[in-house]
Amino acid sequence: MFRQRSGSNLCYACGKLNRADASVCFYCGRRNPGLWGFGPAIGRLIGGLDFAALVTVVAITAYIASLALDPRAALTPRGVFDLFAPGGRALIALGMAGAVPWQAGHWWTVLTAIYLHGSLLHILFNLLWIRQLLPDVEEIYGQARTIVIFTLSGAVGFLLSNAAGNPFTLGASGAVFGVLGAMVWYGRRRGGLFGAAVLRQYGSWALILFVLGLLGMHVDNWGHAGGFLGGVLVALMLGSGDQRSERGIHRVLAAACLALTVVAFALQLWTAFAP
Ligand SMILES: [Zn+2]
């Protein structure tokens, strides 16, 4: 059912048609062009996914779990910016990133922390941006590359933040900045009226958000800058839809990003909760 053994399918590298059982692509010479028959299933999985909805569901689930793990801390009234703020220990247990977990060897927190948030406003703000931006990025880069840009730029943001010595950090903002970076890069590279409009729109959003971050307290500016750079880098390496249409290799990378995120949560929950 998941594995295609007969007929023909597309080479993941060059996108041309080969027999399903071909061991080498007839056109580009790549080995296992149909990914052992799993290529079409990966394509269906990634193509049929509503990634913005998936991010929303995972982030809200993680937020509710972080509140439920320590209800007293969550209900302690502080300021409006800390309304319904999960306790620090609950966030650490669920995979908050930062120099402290990084030095403890918990590398996977650069992925889990993308889905964790420190207050009601924090999660609302990030989810609104995600729902606003992801459809645009999907239109330019396609579904698979959007998943890769979001995941890797979030991780690059946390890596830079860890390197800067930030003890703890969390949130999808780095990934949001990555998506902005990918759009800015696209606008700059494409040029023309449309490119200039994209560059102006997304560049000013990135600038406003970054300056707001510099003015605010407890904002991970390294994470924002790193996310933006990560988004530009991934966009640079993968190209956008007008340069290169989405191919199997992009879907394989997207599936790898999703699988790595699942592994990251599994490692985190095992480390925090296994007896
Ligand atoms: Zn090929």
CATH number at residue 80: 1.20.1540.10
Least confident of 67-81, 139-153, 156-170, 195-209: 67-81
Strand, helix or coil for residue 9:
strand
pLDDT at position 173 over 80: yes
Q: Are strands 17-19 and 8-10 parallel, antiparallel or unpaired?
A: antiparallel
| Cα 148 to averaged position of ligand 1 atoms, centre (Å) | 22
Determine, yes or no, domain membership for 30: yes
| Cα 61 to averaged position of ligand 1 atoms, centre (Å) | 40
Instruction: Give the Cα separation of 51 and 166 in Å (integer).
Output: 29
| Cα 54 to averaged position of ligand 1 atoms, centre (Å) | 31
Mean pLDDT of 250-268: 96
| Cα 147 to averaged position of ligand 1 atoms, centre (Å) | 23
pLDDT of residue 1: 57
| Cα 65 to averaged position of ligand 1 atoms, centre (Å) | 45
Question: What percentage of the chain carries pLDDT values higher than 90?
Answer: 68
Quick one: 19 and 138 in the same domain?
no
Determine, yes or no, domain membership for 217: yes
Quick one: 30 and 60 in the same domain?
no
Quick one: 60 and 175 in the same domain?
yes
Quick one: 111 and 16 in the same domain?
no
| Cα 30 to averaged position of ligand 1 atoms, centre (Å) | 6
Dump pLDDT digits (tens) for 35-55.
888 888 888 888 888 999 999
| Cα 70 to averaged position of ligand 1 atoms, centre (Å) | 52
pLDDT of residue 247: 83
pLDDT of residue 53: 95
| Cα 159 to averaged position of ligand 1 atoms, centre (Å) | 34
Number of domains in the chain: 2
* 192-215 and 221-238 helices, crossing angle to 10°: 160
Quick one: 105 and 130 in the same domain?
yes
Mean pLDDT of 201-210: 94
pLDDT of residue 133: 95
Quick one: 81 and 106 in the same domain?
yes
Residue 96 pLDDT level (bands cut at 50, 70, 90): very high
Residue 154 near residue 227 (C-beta atoms within 8 A): yes
pLDDT of residue 176: 97
Q: Which domain holds residue 16?
A: 8-37
| Cα 13 to averaged position of ligand 1 atoms, centre (Å) | 5
**Of the candidates 176, 174, 169, 183, the residue with the CA atom closest to the CA atom of residue 155:** 174
- End-to-end CA distance of the chain: give it in Å, rounded: 38
Instruction: Give the Cα separation of 32 and 19 in Å (integer).
Output: 11
Q: Which amino acid is at 265?
A: F
The distance of Cα 194 from the centroid of its chain, to the nearest Å, equals 26
Specify the pTM: 0.92
The more confident residue out of 225 and 22 is 225
| Cα 115 to averaged position of ligand 1 atoms, centre (Å) | 36
